[in-house]
Amino acid sequence: MEINTGEEKKEPSYTEESKQVETGVSSNKTETSKNTAAVSSPPRRIRAAPHTRRIAREMGVNIEKIDGTGPSGRVIDDDVYRFAQGGDSVNDTFPDSDAAVNSTSQEKESVPLTGVRKQIAKKMSDSWNTIPHVTHFDEADITNLLNFRDELKQSDETISVTSFFIKAIVISLQDYKVFNARLDEENEMIELFKSCHIGFAADTKEGVMVPAIQNADKKTIKTINKEMKALTEKAQEGNLSPSDMKNSTFTVNNVGPLGGTAATPIINKPHTGIISFHKTKKKPAVIENDEIAIRSIMTISFSFDHRVADGARAIEFINRFIDLIENPKKLFLELA
């Protein structure tokens, strides 16, 4: 509702000052439109495989700043490595930890990365960055195996649990040869090995060493146990020779005595698989006739190269292994 005061309403005068204000507003609107257009412009489209993008993320490289050398300008793995080595990698999301922390307030000690540790670091990085790892977890009831080992002890035959594991792995590898193999990327071939040379992780002061039991598929459990014990002693004394660690086709790692429920072991390239045995725990389990009993349950983690095998084969392989160690007397049907 408008109140009439009797005075004549006057139109505002259109002065030069008004014009300047109006022009300024118009100019600001134009500038804002330009800025908005710049902000909303679509990001640069990058052609790169998921694996290449993962490498870039792990190395802290902004893949949008890389000029691809692959077909149609695609960014390939070598482009990422080359860019990172040039010192131009940018991580826009996470700042450098050295910049975020005042180094003057931190006391630190630098340890040279040399010798065995340097070789381990190089090999593990290469494996993780080039092999698409998948880890399958499972459990095995090794109560019968432990009881059988105790029976052998009473007959003065001391056999380590790992020796039984290795024999069961060898038998399983003969049924699933794709895990006793290597991928020849250059020639695009999967090489299946006829013999099983089993490398096993030995913990030493210098780091993990992997001596190999040659032709384990042709050896008895007793022989495997004897050779593994001798190689372990050599590793811990620092006396392993290059020949002790050559030609392995598969790796086993028994970390159970140290503890731990599970892990994701990194494949010992160029192998296609590695298996870890973790801590054995006594747990209630359902046995025959739906009875509950306390059993010795061990966790297993098996990492494999997804380029050469799928999950179904990995599960079948582990099922075969579990069947053998849960029913250890079956192992003697496969003696060399």
Q: Is residue 296 part of a domain?
A: yes
Is 271 assigned a catalytic role? no
pLDDT by residue (tens digit) across 226-259? Answer: 999 999 999 999 999 999 999 999 999 999 999 8
Same domain, 307 and 160: yes
pLDDT by residue (tens digit) across 86-143? Answer: 744 444 444 455 554 554 557 889 889 888 899 999 999 999 999 999 999 999 999 9
Is the pTM value of this prediction over 0.95?
Answer: no
Contact (Cβ atoms closer than 8 angstroms) between residue 302 and residue 279: no
Same domain, 84 and 146: no
Per-residue pLDDT band at 296 (split at 50, 70, 90)? very high
Same domain, 140 and 93: no
Is the pLDDT higher at 96 or at 190?
190
Q: Is residue 16 part of a domain?
A: no
The residue assigned the tokens 């099983």 is 196
Contact (Cβ atoms closer than 8 angstroms) between residue 309 and residue 136: no
Q: What is the mean pLDDT of the chain?
A: 85
CATH number, position 205: 3.30.559.10
pLDDT at 265 (0 to 100): 96
**Which residue type occupies 301?**
S
pLDDT at 243 (0 to 100): 94
Please give the Cα distance from 180 to 173 (Å, whole number): 6
Residue 61 sits in which domain range? 50-99
Same domain, 204 and 328: yes
Please give the Cα distance from 5 to 187 (Å, whole number): 97
Per-residue pLDDT band at 73 (split at 50, 70, 90)? confident
pLDDT, average across residues 55-72: 86
pLDDT at 98 (0 to 100): 53
What the block records as the tokens of 156 is 């003065």
Same domain, 190 and 70: no
List C-alpha distances in Å: 317 to 180, 275, 284, 314: 11, 11, 26, 5
pLDDT, average across residues 177-200: 96
pLDDT at 336 (0 to 100): 52
Please give the Cα distance from 336 to 328 (Å, whole number): 15
CATH number, position 87: 4.10.320.10
Question: Is the pLDDT confidence value at 32 over 60?
Answer: no
> Strand 250-254 and strand 273-286: pairing?
parallel
> Strand 212-213 and strand 189-192: pairing?
unpaired
CA angle 327, 322, 201 (to 5 degrees): 115
pLDDT, average across residues 36-56: 72
List C-alpha distances in Å: 174 to 170, 180, 281: 6, 8, 30
The residue assigned the tokens 């160029």 is 270
109 DSSP 8-state letter: -
Same domain, 206 and 88: no
Please give the Cα distance from 197 to 215 (Å, whole number): 5
HSE-CB of 132 using CA atoms within 13 angstroms: 12
pLDDT at 23 (0 to 100): 46
Question: Is the pLDDT confidence value at 332 over 90?
Answer: no
Q: Is residue 138 part of a domain?
A: yes
Look at the chain and report how many structural domains it folds into: 2
